[in-house]
Amino acid sequence: MKKVFLLGFTLLSVAGCNPEMGRLPFESDVSCLRNQLSSDIHPTFQAAANTCQKDDHGAPLPLQLKGALDLQKQAEQANIAYTN
């Protein structure tokens, strides 16, 4: 019974997330950036990228923007590292 309760609580917690809360679990960089850019709280690409970038012991990892040419162009203009 505890496992069912824990699973239900977890699903409700994840379902209650919105773009203003940051990156969702298992969300791709492209999806995260698109969600952040569509919200009112992150009007700039730089702010959205700061929210979506993963880090490795305090150092930001390059965004994985494969197939998103529009986001790659914005990353280049903002001087943010990304991979194809």
Please tell me the predicted confidence (pLDDT) of residue 33.
93
**Stretch 14-27: mean pLDDT:** 63
With 90 as the cut, is the pLDDT of residue 9 above it? no
Tell me the C-alpha distance between 33 and 14, whole Å. 18
DSSP string covering 6-65, please? Answer: HHHHHHHHHHT--GGG-PPTT--HHHHHHHHHHSSS--SHHHHHHHH--EETTEEPPEE-
Q: For residue 29, what pLDDT is reported? A: 94
The residue ranges of every structural domain in the chain are: 28-84
Q: How crowded is the C-beta side of 74, counted as CA atoms within 13 Å? A: 17
Residue count of the chain, please give it: 84
pLDDT tens, 28-83? 999 999 999 988 777 789 989 988 988 888 888 999 999 999 999 999 999 999 99
